[in-house]
Amino acid sequence: MFFLSPVLQVIFFFFMSLALNFGYFFFLFGLIPLFFNFLLSRFLFCHPMPIFFISYFLL
């Protein structure tokens, strides 16, 4: 489904779970994996992970 390694997916979901559990840390823990996901999608031709965009509506 995603063209990311399992290790990177675990890192992304770990940071996003922190952002969902601690909403006031969202810009600290949420934008960092978003930035790296943007870089990966630009240079490795990966699709952005929908969990990031869904989490915007949940917070």
pLDDT tens-place string over residues 3-57:
667 777 777 777 777 666 666 555 665 666 677 767 666 655 555 555 555 555 5
pTM assigned to the model: 0.30
- pLDDT of 12 reads 78
- pLDDT of 5 reads 73
38 Cβ contact list (under 8 Å, min separation 6): 48
Task: Give the rounded distance of the alpha carbon of 24 from its chain centre.
Answer: 16
Q: Using CA atoms of 20, 24, 50, 42 in order, give the dihedral in degrees to the nearest 10.
A: -140
- pLDDT of 11 reads 77
- pLDDT of 42 reads 60
- pLDDT of 16 reads 74
Name the residue ranges covered by the structural domains of the chain: 19-58
